[in-house]
Amino acid sequence: MTSKPRGRQFFFNPGPTNIPDRVLGAMNRATLDFFSEEFLAIQRLVHAGVMRVLKTKQHLLMYAANGHGAWEAGFANVFAPGDTLLMLESGRFSASWTDMAQALGLKVETLRADWRLGVPTAAVAERLAKDKAHEIKGVLVVQNETSTGLTHPVAEIRKAIESVRHPALYLVDTISSLASMDFRMDEWGVDIAVGGSQKGLMMTTGLSFTGISERALELSKTGGMKRSYWNWAEMRSISPQRFPGTTPVHMFFGLEESLKLLEEEGLDAVFARHRRLGAATRAAVAHWGGGAKSGLTISADGLEGRVEGIELLCRDPARVSDTVTAIVLPDGHDANALRKIALDRFNLSLGGGLGPLAGRVFRIGHMGDLNEPMLLGALATVELAMTVAGIPHRAGGTEAAIAALSGR
Ligand code: PLP
């Protein structure tokens, strides 16, 4: 019988993420009546806190659902079956968001991209300029594609939409970027921002939300599709913070505390910490691969090209993610076998490759409640697991991360 590894599980899977002890502690309390003034005050505080993180003064509605629920709420309130949406391809999550839209009867045109590079901003303006009849009703972007460790520039894409004066709504998925990377809903002209509790907000999974612009809210009053649970009008008819059904009070206790933690550190310092940890992770990967750069390309259909050494999946240094790093293994090596060694022997949880990346890629999540010793421990353990798994790499990636963190 194999014994369970000792110690706390080292969690470097890109979501859910580590829940700080203070947040766990805040949830360890007796239930409050969710109509009591004591609880409603907490709910209002949380609501205002999430709006500050989204950087919006417009509207916010929350759901007792994971991120998929907020995706659906966004679609159901503003689009009608048959409407056309333009999706920027970035990886597995842009593909799943597309699948959901299609299942709801929406048409999706995808701006195709190599998953290692994403869609050039100019391609958005070019496509929208051709849509003279304004058939495209929404432009959809995943700010931080968790499956590939690739970001899309949300502000630049808004400028591209404006450059051709296209009236499409702008929908952005912030699930693995919010509260870890900068996001400015109002300044960047986002109409629907989809977020979830379980990543940068350092909470349990199960609370998701949509930031909603004035324009999207107005459209929802006469538009949208058949809906009930997700119906914004019904939720707002009682109060701007209304919850459909029983309010999950403990999640609000937890979120109140995680918002306090974020505000104590300061959002800019939180983003800077993620930038430092992301850069250190990439320094380790570059070292392990000895600078290997293959001509590998990736699409929804699969991978094309030979890979000789370990390398970063994202090839555009301006678009690398500071919350998750996806790493491609050399041909003939199994990323899931590596993850199994890391988990079963060393109690380190890493993310796997999703969709066509299964077995070819592993992911290190570095978002939320993390610091330097935790990251260095994880990187050293990845190196240990690679050694055990017989994956060729240049030893010393952890030292490269130390050099990056110390500014040497
Ligand atoms: N979008 C992104 C970018 C994600 O990373 C995820 C989950 O990891 C989702 C959407 C879906 O969120 P959920 O799993 O909470 O439904």
The one-digit pLDDT tens for each residue of the chain (408 residues) are 457 778 889 999 998 999 999 999 999 999 999 999 999 999 999 999 999 999 999 999 999 999 999 999 999 999 999 999 999 999 999 999 999 999 999 999 999 999 999 999 999 999 999 999 999 999 999 999 999 999 999 999 999 999 999 999 999 999 999 999 999 999 999 999 999 999 999 999 999 999 999 999 999 999 999 999 999 999 998 887 777 789 999 999 999 999 999 999 999 999 999 999 999 999 999 999 998 899 999 999 999 999 999 999 999 999 999 999 999 999 999 999 999 999 999 999 999 999 999 999 999 999 999 999 999 999 999 999 999 999 999 999 999 999 999 987
Q: Which residues contact 247 (CB under 8 A, 6 or more apart)?
A: 34, 39, 43, 64
Give me ligand 1 centre to Cα 129, in Å. 31
Between the CA of 221 and the centroid of ligand 1 the distance, in Å, is 27
| Sheet hosting strand 311-312, strand order edge to edge | 10-12, 348-352, 361-365, 324-328, 311-312
Beta carbon of 93 within 6 Å of any ligand 1 atom: yes
Distance 96 CA to ligand 1 centre (A): 9
What number does the ligand 1 atom closest to the CA of 147 have? 5
- If one residue of 175, 180, 357 were mutated to test the ligand 1 pocket, choosing by the most ligand atoms within 8 A of its CB, it would be 175
Number of helical H runs and strand E runs in the chain: 13, 16
Centre of ligand 1 from the C-alpha of residue 103, in Å = 17
State the distance from the centre of ligand 1 to the C-alpha of 408, rounded, in angstroms. 36
pTM for the full model?
0.98
Spacing, Cα 204 to ligand 1 middle (Å): 13
Which protein residue has the closest C-alpha to ligand 1 atom 13?
67
- Relative to beta strand 208-212, strand 59-63 is antiparallel
* Among the listed residues 371, 370, 364, the one whose alpha carbon sits nearest the alpha carbon of residue 397: 364
- For residue 372, the tally of other CB atoms under 10 A from its CB is 15
Q: What is the pLDDT of residue 4?
A: 76
Closest residue to atom 5 of ligand 1, CA basis:
146
Q: Which of 71, 92, 98, 146 to mutate to test the pocket of ligand 1 (most atoms within 8 A of CB)?
A: 146
Q: Which of 176, 177, 205 to mutate to test the pocket of ligand 1 (most atoms within 8 A of CB)?
A: 176
261-268 long-range contacts (CB < 8 A, ≥24 apart) are 261/20, 261/22, 261/23, 261/202, 261/369, 262/53, 262/179, 262/201, 263/49, 263/52, 267/53, 267/179, 267/182
Residue 1 is predicted with a pLDDT of: 47
User: Ligand 1 pocket, 386 CB below 6 A?
Assistant: no
The token pair at 143 is: 């700010």
At 162, list the tokens: 């404006």
Q: How far is CA 228 from the centre of its chain?
A: 27
Ligand 1 contacts CB of residue 142 (under 6 A)? yes
